[in-house]
A = this chain, B = another copy of it.
Amino acid sequence: MEAVTIKDIAKALNLSTSTVSRALRGSYEINAETKKMVLEYADKVNYSPNPIALSLKENKSRTIGVIVPEIANNFFSQAINGIEDVANKRGYHVVIFQSHESYEREIKNVQHIIARKVDGLLISLSGQTENVSHLLDIQAKKLPLVLFDRVSEKIEAHKVVADNFDGAFKATEHLILSGRRRIAHVTSPSLLSISQERLMGYKTALEKYQIPYDESFVKYCGFEPEEAQKLIFNLIENQKPDAIFTTSDRLALDCFSALKELGISVPDKLSFIGFTNLKVAHLLAPSLSTIVQPAFEIGQTAAELLVDLIEKKQRNAEHLKTIKIPTEMVIRKSSDLS
């Protein structure tokens, strides 16, 4: 009973496939009655065009590929939300791949995704990615490409990012204005663009208030389970910060956990601000002020741009651009974490 095709309709109605096709897409001049008949019958038998045949014909898959480091990461799952939102509205499928923060897997994903003939690619770089030749390959193939969130200076491409500099600047400034001076910065691997941009914001804020920059107050933390704990203990014991600016839910939570073990009270001894998304962070760490990451909007914007690129709807789509999505600061005043 399945898979009713144009051919079936044509046969049933004693028409040619071309007539049916025209009737279905309404376009060409066609006898109103014939058209009506076809439409009714098609509706009755629940006809829907075979997207695979369409793809073959148009040499398009109406699919966009997405490569992210980790789907079970609040930032990326929200970003994917935004991507799917736009993609579905505009008639595209989304296929998702994870690099699991591995450069090699990222390359494999890129190859796989190219072989699968997606119409365009959205990518957020792994924590290990330094070389971007796999992305240059994509550009060489004229495959529409948009980098989001974790981008690279080494490639000229369309990019959608959060305004990390501004967010980090405001975060640091907020801590300074609360009277803190020994402000530590616990952040993601130094290879990442987001780390670099945030570090610049942090440094610039220190400069503005003439607080000397001390490298030992900045800790880059990878994705291994144990890594953060050690590093944070170390930081707190040696540098004795009076504030910490962290850059993700995970790092913020790791910090809180460490502080709890050390019996250090927040925000009395330590003041906090982080780049986070998670409501969880707010719920359990009421003293954590936050620079809200515009994950959903980044996803939406990146997808919108990519689809425009694919469909060449934007005249100025050819000239590269980097879109910065603003962040929002949420200040928490409660002090009842203990």
B-contacting residues of A (Cβ < 8 Å)? 1-3, 48, 50-53, 55-56, 59, 61, 71-74, 77-78, 80-81, 84, 88, 93-98, 112, 115-117, 140-142, 249, 253-254, 256-257, 260, 278, 280, 283-286, 336, 338
User: Are A94 and B95 in contact, CB atoms less than 8 angstroms apart?
Assistant: yes
Q: Which residue of B lies closest to A142 (CB)?
A: B2
A188 to chain B, nearest CB (A): 17
A56 to B278 alpha-carbon distance, docked (Å): 43
A282 to chain B, nearest CB (A): 9
Q: Which residue of B lies closest to A74 (CB)?
A: B72
A34 to chain B, nearest CB (A): 24
Q: List 9 A-B contacts (CB under 8 A).
A: A50-B117, A51-B116, A53-B56, A71-B71, A71-B84, A94-B95, A253-B283, A257-B283, A284-B284
A161 to chain B, nearest CB (A): 20
A93 to B96 alpha-carbon distance, docked (Å): 9
Contacts of A96 in B (CB 8 A): 80, 84, 94, 96
A74 to B254 alpha-carbon distance, docked (Å): 18
User: Are B61 and A52 in contact, CB atoms less than 8 angstroms apart?
Assistant: yes
Q: Which residue of B lies closest to A75 (CB)?
A: B72
Contacts of A336 in B (CB 8 A): 260
A140 to B2 alpha-carbon distance, docked (Å): 9
New A-B pairs, 12, CB < 8 Å, besides A51-B115, A256-B284, A280-B280: A1-B141, A2-B141, A48-B115, A52-B52, A72-B74, A72-B77, A77-B77, A80-B96, A81-B98, A95-B95, A260-B336, A284-B285
A145 to chain B, nearest CB (A): 14
A274 to chain B, nearest CB (A): 13
A256 to chain B, nearest CB (A): 6
A249 to B284 alpha-carbon distance, docked (Å): 12
Q: Which residue of B lies closest to A48 (CB)?
A: B115
A336 to B336 alpha-carbon distance, docked (Å): 14
User: Are B55 and A249 in contact, CB atoms less than 8 angstroms apart?
Assistant: no
Contacts of A283 in B (CB 8 A): 253-254, 256-257
Contacts of A97 in B (CB 8 A): 84, 88
User: Are A52 and B48 in contact, CB atoms less than 8 angstroms apart?
Assistant: no
Q: Which residue of B lies closest to A225 (CB)?
A: B279
Contacts of A98 in B (CB 8 A): 81, 84
Cross-chain contact of A55 among B52, B77, B141, B257 (Cβ < 8 A): B52
